Amino acid sequence: MAVTTNDLRNGMTLDLPDGLFAVVEFQHVKPGKGGAFVRTKLKNVRTGAVVEKTFRADERVEQAIVDKREMQLLYRDGSDYVFMDVTSYDQLHVSPASLGDASQFVKEGDNAVLQMYAGEIVGVDLPAAVELTVAETEPGVQGDRVSGARKPATLETGLVVQVPLFVNPGERIKVDTRTGEYITRA
């Protein structure tokens, strides 16, 4: 669906020749001389890279309608993840490459919003924090309470995070999905 650059809105997704981009911010500029233009900041939906791009006013661009579907992770089938649409109950096999970093934060039974465009997953929306169980880490030693000291812990999804010394195997912790860092014990 073609729209003009005058119709741009924050959050709108555009299908440009160099990829799929979400509008982060835009500004209409009318200089004293010359034609008006639109200065934009665009985020590549697939890579997350932010670029600045300038369009002429009234230039036509292709709007991409991204379908956001809430899906629940049912189980892993080999290396694939099997998701179920929570409204239609359709099942979808997804490769770890399609999920990107999100694969380190989802476990069976978790919900995630998959962003679909032309039958392809272009992004995954996760909650700001998830609860995961510590699969293995060095056990905490009584009296070992050095302020701010950290140790590596492997979580149930395979993600390795730095945790405080008092966290033990089998405990549930909260992890920030944006940074991949330990927040607190659950």
**43 in Cβ contact with 21 (< 8 Å):** yes
CATH number of 2-62: 2.30.30.30
To which H or E segment does residue 53 belong? Answer: strand 50-56
CATH number of 67-125: 2.40.50.140
This prediction's pTM: 0.71
Strand blocks (E) in 65-140: 67-77, 80-85, 91-94, 111-117, 120-125, 129-137
**181 in Cβ contact with 162 (< 8 Å):** yes
What per-residue confidence (pLDDT) applies to 142?
62
**151 in Cβ contact with 129 (< 8 Å):** no
What per-residue confidence (pLDDT) applies to 143?
62
Going from N- to C-terminal start, the domains of the chain cover 2-62, 67-125, 129-185
**157 in Cβ contact with 145 (< 8 Å):** no
The list of the chain residues with pLDDT below 70 reads 140-147
What per-residue confidence (pLDDT) applies to 130?
86
Which two tokens mark 134? 């510590």
Give the homologous superfamily in CATH for domain 129-185.
Nucleic acid-binding proteins (2.40.50.140)
CA gyration radius, the chain = 22
**131 in Cβ contact with 174 (< 8 Å):** yes
What per-residue confidence (pLDDT) applies to 84?
92
Q: What is the pLDDT of residues 18-32, one digit of tens each?
A: 888 888 899 988 888
What per-residue confidence (pLDDT) applies to 52?
93
What per-residue confidence (pLDDT) applies to 140?
67
What per-residue confidence (pLDDT) applies to 166?
83
Q: What is the pLDDT of residues 42-63, one digit of tens each?
A: 988 877 789 999 988 888 888 8
User: 129-185: same fold as 2-62?
Assistant: no
